Structure 1
Amino acid sequence: MQTKTTADVGDYMKVFACTAVIMQSVLAFGLQTSPNPRVQTGIGITYNLVKYTAPAFIFGILFTTVRTHERAHLGDYRQYLTQQLHSLFIPTFWWSLVYLLGLPSLQQVSHYHNLGSFIWQFINGNAAPHLWYNTMMLQFILLMPFFWWLSRWAVQSPRHLWGTLILTIVGYGGWLAFYDQQVFNGPHHWYLLDRLFVSFLIYGIFGALAWKKRRTLETFLQRYWPLLVGLFAVTFIWTNLELQAFGQPVRLANAIYYKPSTTLYALAVIGLIATLAWANIRHHSRWLPVMHGLATYAYRAYLANVFWLQLLWQTFGHRLSQTHPVWAIVSCYGLTWLLSFASAYGLHVGWSALKRWA
């Protein structure tokens, strides 16, 4: 049983996801310097290794929210939104402003030129390379009553549970086929589908159900985790073969979430993280309070990471990458991680003190 000071599976997902997404940002910066083919290949392999971040974060959010709102219903929705307003919406608002006004060169797809285009860049996640995720994730927050209801309904009987799982898997498989034919290998460039919650719905549903069926799932993972290691290895090789098939130069845009290989890889990683989390919980690991503390600031650290990375890259990273690209990536990654979590904690402490003083 988790207390307020120890971690749950969702906390582990958030910490692992945030730690990995910072590496994604650094790798993207490193690739922009056009390193030699060997380094590009290494960047592509490493990028595929950490290509589980959004699925793990969504899984973790739904797992923890269903755990902490076990008996929530529509009448609790207003209170829930008020809580999320302070922890998610307000930090997203301010960091989006920071990127748009302070670092406008980081905008994606297009740049704002008037008030209307400024608002568009703000709300669709184009303010910085990583903010597309906010637009998608916040949709899950708004739709939380649906997941509260579904998680309760699905576990009422085995028929409900298996029906939900089968419909989710088949439906998501259809979505992947649609995306492949119409977007990735098709005629359309619908980048906004990345921001649509449907693109990550399977991880939300699985996260909600994972808490409800936690005892069964924990027992399964404890017994069969070596199978997940095998799935992890096979799908990791699969994703890299797919990326290498595009040849040089390596383009990270070809390593997308919306493929069977990446989906299975993300689910394997999620399963392994859950296995580790439950093992730590069973053994009352000293890491539990640490992981819970890091998870508390993971989202705000995620928002800040590209800000700090940009400053570090302009200060020394870009110059170092000309002669030692691997050292540039490693050093910028470590410093970005530290600064992101330190600033998230510092801003929280400062804001709390300001509210008490006011």
Structure 2
Amino acid sequence: MKYEAKSPLAADIGDYLKVFACTAVMLQIILVEALQTHPSPSAQIGIGIFYDLTKFTAPAFIAGILYTTTRIAVDSNLTYRTYLIQMWHALFIPTIAWTTIYLLVMPWVQQVHRYHDLQTFAWQFINGNAAPHLWYNSMMLQFIILMPAFWWLARWCGQNRFRGILVLITVSLIQIAWLAFYDRQVFHGPHMQDWYLLDRLFISFLMYGVLGVLAWQYRHITTRFLHKWHWVILIIAGASFVWINWELLSYSLPIQVINAPYYKPSMTVYDLSIIFLIAAFAATQLTNRPQIAQTIHFMANYAYPAFLSNVFWNQLLWLTFGRALTTNKPLIGIILVYLGTWVLSFASAIMIHWVWKQIRRMIFVRSKNNQ
């Protein structure tokens, strides 16, 4: 399996990681809402297991972003200023728009605290508490700002295997140290309440970003590894899935998703194995199913705006029929709200992009005619 395309228009493994992550993360919020309807113990256990199944989204999205960005930018003439301008339009403006919508139109979806004046409004705006999924934005945008460091890392590694191994060992040690620190001090630790914002610090997901960089830099080794060891990776994924569910269910009922954080050794193994499995699937598709790969590439372009809007559509569906249906028939309610949220999120992302493109075209034509 070989993959050499460097064009921004080409599909890649990062596209698959972003689409899978976006698709799965929409289910997480619905599962949390379903737990709030006080389902039966057996239903709670089932919901908790499915919640754990989707608990790879943030690491996969970060790995996907760094993989694609490294592929496109590391050997190009793209400047940091040009890159930031591109990201301003692609990421920052949608983030600002949707965060404003959540705070002003749906203030009840805020997390931890609610704003009560201009200062607390601004704090909720930037800290990721404006909606249950926006903590991820606070973390991901740090990677965007720090992107030159990852470009430098990619160029420093080049094709030198020793340097790649050195970087991998170093970032693994950092990850182990961070997990140990988080487990003792934050996760059910003395600073569980006052240090909760550490979960959106970029260092918590540094390993996945570096992994995305290395996966592209050593893509020939990566694809051979995935092709040769995918069955072993599948076994590890299954074993780690049992592990994280055993840990979650070891706590007493009702199920609390706070007991399934990203920052545990078991979850790290699970996340890495799922990322590798998606990458193995993507590598096969890119070689054997190029048309499907291009469809995934198209969807990946809208994955982030779809992610931003998904809680908005989720709330509309949940409050109109979802909560009542899920209370009486949990499985049917979860499936219908999830499918509706997914369709509306991607459809709105595509439509907003099309409308914005038409507006920009009209502005350009009018400006040209006035010259």
Aligned runs of 1:1-358 on 2, under 5 Å? 1-2=4-5, 3-71=7-75, 76-155=79-158, 157-189=160-192, 190-358=195-363
Q: Residue type of the partner of 2:242?
A: I
2:8 touches 2:72 (CA, 8 Å); kept in 1? no
Offset at 1:158?
Answer: 3.0
Q: Residue type of the partner of 1:243?
A: L
What's the Cα RMSD here? 1.2
2:15 touches 2:68 (CA, 8 Å); kept in 1? yes
TM-score normalized by structure 2? 0.94
Instruction: Tell me: CA distance 1:215–1:158, structure 2 relative to 1, closer, same or farther (3 Å).
Output: closer
User: Hey, what's the Cα distance between the residues in 1 that align with 2:160 and 2:70?
Assistant: 18
Counterpart position of 2:368: none
- Post-superposition CA distance 1:160-206 (Å, at most 9, x none): 22211111111110000000000113100211111100000000000
User: Hey, what's the Cα distance between the residues in 2 that align with 1:133 and 1:267?
Assistant: 18
- Post-superposition CA distance 1:182-239 (Å, at most 9, x none): 0113100211111100000000000011000001110111011001000100000000
- Post-superposition CA distance 1:39-65 (Å, at most 9, x none): 110110000001000000000000000
- Post-superposition CA distance 1:100-155 (Å, at most 9, x none): 00000000010001111000000011000000000000000000000001112123
Q: Residue type of the partner of 2:142?
A: Q
Offset at 1:4?
Answer: 4.9
Tell me the SS of whatever aligns to 2:55.
coil
Unaligned runs of 5+ residues in structure 2 are 364-371
Counterpart position of 2:367: none
Offset at 1:6?
Answer: 4.0
Q: Residue type of the partner of 2:287?
A: R
Offset at 1:5?
Answer: 4.5
2:74 touches 2:154 (CA, 8 Å); kept in 1? no
1:125 touches 1:132 (CA, 8 Å); kept in 2? yes
Offset at 1:159?
Answer: 2.8
Q: How many residues matched? A: 357
Offset at 1:71?
Answer: 2.3
Offset at 1:16?
Answer: 0.1
Q: Residue type of the partner of 1:208?
A: V
Q: Residue type of the partner of 2:185?
A: Q
1:72 touches 1:148 (CA, 8 Å); kept in 2? no
User: Hey, what's the Cα distance between the residues in 1 that align with 2:316 and 2:38?
Assistant: 20
Q: Among all aligned residue pairs of Structure 1 and Structure 2, give the percentage whose two residues are the same amino acid.
A: 51
2:52 touches 2:244 (CA, 8 Å); kept in 1? yes
Q: Residue type of the partner of 1:296?
A: N
Tell me the SS of whatever aligns to 1:185.
coil
